[in-house]
Amino acid sequence: MGCKQIAGFKQATIAVQSGINVDEQYGCVVPPVYLSSTYNFTGFNEPRAHDYSRRGNPGRDVVQQVLAELEGGAGAVMTSSGMSAIHLLCTVFLQPGDLLVAPHDCYGGSYRLFDSLSRRGAYNVIFVDQSDGSALKQALAQKPKLVLIETPSNPLLRIVDIRYICELAHEAGALTVVDNTFLSPVLQKPLDLGADLVVHSCTKYLNGHSDLIAGAVIAKDPAIAEDLAWWANNIGVTGGAFDSYLLLRGIRTLSARVLLQQNNAAVIAEYLQKRSLQKQSQVKKLYYPGLKDHPGHDIARQQQAGFGAMLSFELDGDEQTMHRFLSALKLFTLAESLGGVESLISHTATMTHAGMSAEAREQAGITDSLLRISVGIEDSQDLIADLDSAFQAAATR
Ligand code: PLP
């Protein structure tokens, strides 16, 4: 099964058209799912395009092609999870003694991975506030091999300047990778901003239906893309056949979903901001890059095609208030993860960022009253009514 290249089109068109009509045998519009783990040889020493599904699968080829096209890269590797994609990067680029510079407020699972492996001597890591220019320069002076950027950050939606950090990192001799999970290529194209690599938890917006765990690494340089594919097979982290199909199906509607989710998020952010200005406000702090007073608003305007559909806020009150608020919600499910069509809410300290020590969370500004919302595609007025009744319930003792 070949893979039709889609060049010169906009994201929504690429997402829908790339890889369709590639089945020559039956003319299937949707690429078939090839579940076979192995492929016969046509004769002695005569392999076909694929020999074993860990190394290559026709359906995974298609989704990898689509991912590379969406991010504007030379090649992509789909992996079994976002974490295995991040682990793959570290395996390929970092050896004992090499340094990784990561954001101090990166995704809790990434933090735990870097922290635990560095303790075992796999590589060294420095966690740094990348919006603090002098702290960043100090870290880069130690000549890292790899710099991970996560913007907007999870869960505080801090924005850092990708182009600026990539320039500084390149001067220091490092490769740069951007975790683009929170925006997807519809809203941010890190390779165009100077990054060498992009990593995704495809579990989130790319799939968009909360029914799959997958990841991806996309490389700008074809030689690096090949190297990543070799290592992905070597350590056995490539994505499965059925997961490739699910991911491709999710990507078909990526633009439509993300834009609708983003519109809903803007309406909810406005509502929460109004609440935060009320006399007895229950919204202590609101984090959403679309707000003009958000410290990263101007950079977000420049490097993003929109402000995304994630927001966080601090709920004023004690643990009981939190309990009442969360229990009263009917449309926001209390669950980890993000980017699906359904709205989710998570209490970051006990859920997504429980892998960080209380001290590391404090340093990153993640308080016990912080709630993170992933806005879905429901009707925005229904979502607001749901939040409204939860605020009322929280205020009733
Ligand atoms: N990167 C970010 C920003 C995430 O939010 C997550 C998961 O929440 C990951 C990476 C890890 O992805 P996965 O859960 O697919 O392993």
- CA dist 142 and 179 (Å) reads 22
Which pLDDT value is given to residue 63? Answer: 98
Type of residue at 201: S
Q: Domain 11-250, CATH 3.40.640.10 — does that match?
A: yes
- CA dist 117 and 223 (Å) reads 26
What are the pLDDT digits (tens) for 12-30? Answer: 999 999 999 988 899 999 9
Fold of 255-395: Aspartate Aminotransferase, domain 1 (3.90.1150)
- From 156, 157, 204, 247, the mutation candidate for ligand 1 (largest count of ligand atoms within 8 A of CB) is 204
> Which residue do the tokens 């519809």 mark?
186
Residue 371, Ramachandran bin (φ over 0: left; ψ between -120 and 50: alpha; else beta):
beta
Question: pTM to 2 decimals?
Answer: 0.95
Q: Say how many C-beta atoms besides its own lie within 10 A of residue 296's C-beta.
A: 22
User: In 243-255, which positions are buried (b, 16+ CB within 10 angstroms) versus exposed (e)?
Assistant: bbbbbbebbbbbb
Q: Say how many C-beta atoms besides its own lie within 10 A of residue 279's C-beta.
A: 4
Decide: residue 330, CB within 10 A, 0-12 exposed, 13-18 middle, 19+ buried.
exposed
179 lines ligand 1 (CB under 6 A): yes
CB 5 within 8 A of CB 65: yes
Q: List beta partners, residue 76.
A: 218
DSSP secondary structure code for residue 316 in this structure: P
How many helices (H) and strands (E) the chain has is answered by: 14, 12
What are the pLDDT digits (tens) for 205-230? Answer: 999 999 999 999 999 999 999 999 99
339 lines ligand 1 (CB under 6 A): no
- From 154, 346, 352, 372, the mutation candidate for ligand 1 (largest count of ligand atoms within 8 A of CB) is 154
Cα-only R_g, the chain: 21
Q: Could you identify the atom of ligand 1 that is nearest to the CA of residue 85?
A: 16
239 lines ligand 1 (CB under 6 A): no
Report the length, in residues, of the chain: 397
307 lines ligand 1 (CB under 6 A): no
Q: What share of the chain is helix, strand, coil (3-state, %, to 5)?
A: 40, 15, 45
Decide: residue 278, CB within 10 A, 0-12 exposed, 13-18 middle, 19+ buried.
exposed
* Residue numbers annotated as active site: 54, 107, 179, 204
- From 151, 178, 181, 217, the mutation candidate for ligand 1 (largest count of ligand atoms within 8 A of CB) is 181
Which pLDDT value is given to residue 95? Answer: 98
Type of residue at 253: T
| Residue ranges, the chain, pLDDT below 70 | 1-7
181 lines ligand 1 (CB under 6 A): yes
Nearest CA owner, ligand 1 atom 11: 82
Ranges in the chain annotated CATH 3.90.1150.10: 255-395
DSSP secondary structure code for residue 333 in this structure: E
Q: Which residues contact 292 (CB under 8 A, 6 or more apart)?
A: none
- CA dist 227 and 84 (Å) reads 16
Q: Could you identify the atom of ligand 1 that is nearest to the CA of residue 110?
A: 10
Ranges in the chain annotated CATH 3.40.640.10: 11-250
DSSP secondary structure code for residue 52 in this structure: B
Which pLDDT value is given to residue 105? Answer: 85
H/E stretch holding 313 reads strand 310-315
E runs forming strands in the chain: 75-79, 99-103, 124-128, 146-150, 175-179, 197-201, 215-219, 283-287, 310-315, 333-334, 344-347, 370-374
Q: List beta partners, residue 77.
A: 217
CB 10 within 8 A of CB 254: no
Which pLDDT value is given to residue 4? Answer: 53
- For residue 127, the CA-to-ligand 1 centroid distance in Å is 18
- CA dist 47 and 332 (Å) reads 51
Nearest CA owner, ligand 1 atom 2: 107
